[in-house]
Structure 1
Amino acid sequence: MAKRNDKCLPRGVARFGLMVVLAAFDSNALAQSSVSLYGEIDASAVWANNVHGGHQFQLASGLIDGSFWGMQGSEDLGGGSHATFRLERGFSVATGTDQNDHPYYVGLANDKYGALTLGHQYDSIHDYLAPFTLTGGNGGTAFAHPFDNDNANNSWLARNSIKYTSSSFDGLSVGGMYAFSNAAGQFADNRAYSIGANYGNGDFSAGAAWLHTDGRGSTEGGAYDAVTLPGTTRNTFDASVQTQNTFGIGASQVFGPFTLAASWTRSIYGGITDTETGLPARAVAFDNYEINGTWQAGASLSLSGMYTYTKGTYAHWNQGAVQAGYTLTKRTDTYIEAIYQCASAGAPAVINSIMASSRSSQLLFAAGIRHRF
């Protein structure tokens, strides 16, 4: 076979030919790939009582979703398979500080068999159960159950995690996650795993999930950080937990412009140690019973409300909340909301996203604006 003699070609022609080949290669790659930049900015003015014995006025960041920016992309691998990634970073629009409360991962997905992803991710409670609570829907952050004890508001994301999410089979989808401890010789110390399932048929949907952790908060860089719990000598404290089990079920039904949903979750924390004092604390469990509804009152106006009863080991909490949202454009909306929570047995009221109450009750009013890009 004769060799090609590039010396016979003018240098400019050879260089131009190389550029054409590279351009064609890049165009082909871009045609099979997609990358998008997106985000959300949410800010609100908040009034709350019983904070250090007085009223608190503040500018808060994200009483619904939180503020964040993100990138996600997909590359077509052929045969219905794709390489995917997602990178998000939260921030406070009020202070400008970073918040590590959003996912970032990379993985492979197939249209038929589902997706396998690795990184910093939501667990099965978020994926399959939270949508039946108002905090996991349009209600947002402040509508979480006391201490977000069941993670329905995804206050914690699992580090070092590998997750599988199936495609939908006649309305049924399933998934599971395992988060490694990453500690040498301590495989089960600060690890986590979860499973969940969701079923949808027309206007009816239902879901269930279970999350288990071992040695939560006991190591740096493990699956989860310590968790905030109610105390007996202090209102709240950060706790490392030897075993945590959170599980529950939920369902929703759509009636024209009205959606009615209900959920039950149970969270059990055992082997508790106060991270500040190093002293052991009693085990605690929470049962959360919630009913909520959303009415699309018009093309731009939506009204939502919820009631939750939380039965704890040595106290219980009642929480009621309402929210009105008004859409200005496809990307911008405003909202107002009110939340009231009261606790028994001297336990603190703790409305999510603000400081714990200095008494057994707390009331919050907020008005905000949210923009998506």
Structure 2
Amino acid sequence: MNRLLCCSLAGAYIATQSTTAGAQSVTLYGELDAGLAYVSNVNGHTQYRATSGLIDGSFWGLQGTEALGDGTQALFRLERGYSVSSGEQFNDHPAYVGLQSNPFGTLTLGHQYDLVHDYFAPFTLTGGTGGTAFAHPFDNDNANNSYLAANSVKYASASYGGFSFGGMYAFSNAAGRFAQNRAYGIGANYANGPFSAGASWMHNNGRGLTENGAFEAASLPGVDQPVVDASAQKQDTIAAGASYVIGDVTLAGAWSRAIYTGVADTDSGAALPSIAFSNYEISAIWSVTPTIALAGMYVYTDASSTHWHQGALQAVYQLSKRTDVYAEAIYQRASENGLAVINTNDPSSNRNQVLVATGIRHRF
């Protein structure tokens, strides 16, 4: 843990201890996720590795509110991700400030999750208990929030009879190139008893073409190598999902389509084929007992000339309210002209890849 992180945590602790139980509140929180994994077919070999954030990215954060009167409050959230195994820090968590009003909703500004995360991801396993490795190939629809929207302004409505909605705009911050690497979208959700549904649309111009724009470059399949960092002149992601709770079982279905056009290798500038991913997922979560949960999913991803099948199972056992252990297994198979790539793992050397892992999580 470096000096900056130590000082930040120390300051956060002092802040939480000195805050009074009046109009302002500040909370220090976080999570550590570490484990071990077996991965097949990495450069023709078996890989055994220590993992960090296999379900949830490890992080620490501060969040707080201040009452302003008339049902309005100021709020903020500041998080920082890191690797438990290596100590490396990541800019993959939100930081924002805003205002919230009970009748009107919430307006926030900063580095934030997009509307796919807010209105669609909860109906996928990667956006819930499954986590990182359960993402659709290349996390092409961002259901696992591989990237956040920088320079963003986001509005989320209050719930009106179970219906809520939101919108986001992320600025390019580029002089004379207002539309270069900007993003915007809308989303909506409906919840009524055991049934919930949500949908979202996000659009981006020139993703990865400017250093300080809305989004960084995407990870997409390349021509001469399995995965490349790619810019895209245009990206559209449309997604919808629904879930239904039957006793201790939650059933869900999700569909998304992510379209990338004007694609180029960000390192060489070489043009790459435009690509569109369609993802179809079904999943189930079973709360066997108050301390044991089982989850499973199947995803079919079609990318025109290539497709992937992915199946996954997960078991979680709670040792306490804040600590649990988990085990999971994922199998992915690509079509003959593709390679398997389980999210956040090294690409397979052929069309098949297996991940078997176990780990422990602690929340504070």
Aligned Cα root-mean-square deviation (Å):
1.1
Runs of 4+ residues over 2 Å off in structure 1: 27-30
- Matched residue type, 2:32: I
Q: Which residue of 1 aligns with 2:80?
A: 89
In structure 1, what is the Cα distance between the partners aligned to 2:227 and 2:319? 39
Same amino acid, percent of matched pairs = 60
Moved more, 128-137 or 347-356: 347-356
- Matched residue type, 2:284: G
Partner residue of 1:48 out of 35, 39, 43: 39
* Alpha-carbon distance, 1:240 to partner: 0.5
How big is each residue's C-alpha offset from its partner over 1:83-116, in whole Å with a ceiling of 9 and x where there is no partner? 0000000000000010111000000110110000
Q: Is 1:278 the equivalent of 2:260?
A: no
Where does 1:126-137 land on structure 2 (aligned, <5 Å)?
126-137=117-128
Q: Judge conservation of contact 1:314–1:345 (CA < 8 Å) in 2.
A: no
Where does 1:1-373 land on structure 2 (aligned, <5 Å)?
31-373=22-364
In structure 1, what is the Cα distance between the partners aligned to 2:206 and 2:240? 25
Gaps of 5+ in 2: 1-17
* Partner SS, residue 147 of structure 2: coil
Q: Tell me the TM-score normalised to structure 2 length.
A: 0.94
* Partner SS, residue 126 of structure 1: helix
Aligned length: 347
Q: Judge conservation of contact 2:19–2:26 (CA < 8 Å) in 1.
A: no
- Matched residue type, 1:119: G
In structure 2, what is the Cα distance between the partners aligned to 1:364 and 1:155? 19
* Alpha-carbon distance, 1:276 to partner: 1.7
Q: Judge conservation of contact 1:71–1:87 (CA < 8 Å) in 2.
A: yes
* Alpha-carbon distance, 1:234 to partner: 1.4
In structure 2, what is the Cα distance between the partners aligned to 1:232 and 1:96? 34
Q: Judge conservation of contact 2:19–2:25 (CA < 8 Å) in 1.
A: no
Gaps of 5+ in 1: 1-26
Q: Which residue of 1 aligns with 2:4?
A: none
In structure 2, what is the Cα distance between the partners aligned to 1:105 and 1:275? 29
How big is each residue's C-alpha offset from its partner over 1:287-331, in whole Å with a ceiling of 9 and x where there is no partner? 000000000001111000000000002100000000000000000
How big is each residue's C-alpha offset from its partner over 1:245-276, in whole Å with a ceiling of 9 and x where there is no partner? 00111000000000000000000000001112
Q: Which residue of 2 aligns with 1:21?
A: none
In structure 2, what is the Cα distance between the partners aligned to 1:124 and 1:275? 25
* Alpha-carbon distance, 1:28 to partner: 11
* Alpha-carbon distance, 1:175 to partner: 0.5
Distance 1:295 1:30, change over 3 A: closer
* Partner SS, residue 280 of structure 1: coil
Q: Judge conservation of contact 1:192–1:214 (CA < 8 Å) in 2.
A: yes
Q: Tell me the TM-score normalised to structure 1 length.
A: 0.92
